[in-house]
Structure 1
Amino acid sequence: MPSKRPNRARPPSERPSKICLTCGRPFTWRKKWERDWENVKYCSDRCRSSAR
C-alpha cells in the first residue's frame, strides 16, 4: 500500500504565492483565502488599508 495520503496538506514551499501590491513582499496561499485566491492582492489588512 502507498504511504502517501492524497488529501494531505502541501508544505509551505509548495503552496502558490503572490507579490503584495503595496509592500512588494511575497506571500503564500492560506486556507482562509481558498475560495477567493484569484482576488487576493495584499498580504495583510494593513497593506490593504494603506493602498486606498
Structure 2
Amino acid sequence: MRGVKKENLPEKLCAVCQRPFTWRKKWERVWDQVLYCSEGCRKKKQRRTPD
C-alpha cells in the first residue's frame, strides 16, 4: 500500500455499527479477517452473541 493516497485506501463496513472504516498499516497482513472498526465494536459484538 506504499504510495497510495488516503482517499484511495480500501474500505469496509463495521459488522456492529455499520460505519465505513479504512485500511490501516497495522492491518496489512490480516485485512481479510478485520471485521470491526474499533476495539469497542469488537467487544460489543462479543457481548451480544455469547459463544
How many residues align structurally? 46
Q: RMSD between aligned alpha carbons?
A: 1.4
Structure 2 unaligned segments of length 5 or more: list them. 47-51
Could you tell me which runs of 5 or more consecutive residues in structure 1 were left unpaired when the two chains were aligned. 1-6
Identity of aligned residues (%): 50
Moved over 4 A (4+): none
1:44 aligns with 2:38: yes
Which protein shows a greater Rg? 1
Secondary structure (helix, strand or coil) at the match of 1:21 reads coil
